């Protein structure tokens, strides 16, 4: 009877170790999934903001005529 108890306790301990490892891996995977999801949402938000700014900048560029810059006159020196 004592032998069965030891075997049972050993088996229970091994099972608990495996179960703990499995739960830890599952928790880590769920945390990684949430981090990946947050990163994807943030990337999509930033991409939307960037595209909106680019569209606004392009609309402003098309609405205003380009400015002409004055070039300084070059005087000809005769030798």
- Residue 67's pLDDT band, with cuts at 50, 70 and 90, is confident
d(CA 75, CA 25): 79
- Residue 29's pLDDT band, with cuts at 50, 70 and 90, is very high
DSSP 64: S
Does residue 79 surpass a pLDDT of 70? no
- Residue 68's pLDDT band, with cuts at 50, 70 and 90, is confident
Supply the pTM of this predicted model: 0.54
Nearest to 53 by CA among 61, 65, 64, 41: 61
């Amino acid at each position: 009877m004592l032998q069965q108890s030891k075997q049972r306790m050993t088996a229970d301990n091994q099972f608990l170790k495996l179960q703990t490892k499995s739960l830890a891996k599952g928790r880590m995977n769920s945390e990684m999934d949430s981090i990946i999801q947050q990163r994807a949402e943030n990337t999509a938000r930033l991409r939307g903001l960037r595209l909106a700014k680019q569209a606004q900048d392009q609309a402003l560029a098309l609405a205003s005529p380009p400015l002409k810059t004055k070039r300084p006159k070059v005087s000809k020196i005769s030798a």
